[in-house]
Amino acid sequence: MSTSDDTERAEQPEQPEHATGGVYTSAGKKFTRDTNYITTRITADGRDGYPVQAGRYRLIAARACPWANRTIIVRRLLGLEDALSIGFPGPTHDERSWTFDLDPGGRDPVLGIERLQDAYFARFPDYPRGITVPAIVDVPTGQVVTNDYAQITLDLSTEWRAYHRPGAPDLYPEEHREEIDAVNRRVFTEVNNGVYRCGFAGSQAAYDRAYERLWSALDWLEERLIDRRYLVGETITEADVRLFTTLVRFDPVYHGHFKCNRSTLREMPALWGYARDLFQTPGFGDTVDFAQIKAHYYVVHRDINPTGIVPAGPDLSGWVSPHGREALGGRPFGDGTPPGRVRPDERVDEAHTPLRLG
Cβ atoms 274, 246 nearer than 8 A: no
How do beta strands 143-146 and 32-33 pair? unpaired
Query: Looking at 24, 37, 50, 65, which residue is catalytic?
Result: 65
Enumerate residues 6+ apart whose C-beta is below 8 A from 298.
253, 257, 305, 308, 309, 310, 311
190's CB contacts (< 8 A; 6+ apart) are: 213, 214, 216, 217
Q: Is 260 a catalytic residue?
A: no
CB 56 within 8 A of CB 138: yes
Q: How many CA atoms lie within 13 A of 236 on its CB side?
A: 28
- Do residues 251 and 314 touch, judged by C-beta distance below 8 A? yes
- Three-state DSSP state, 63: coil
Query: Which of 37, 196, 207, 297 is the catalytic position?
Result: 196
Q: Is 196 a catalytic residue?
A: yes
Cis bond leading into 314, ω under 30°? yes
Backbone φ and ψ of 74, nearest 5°: -65, -45
Catalytic residue list: 65, 196
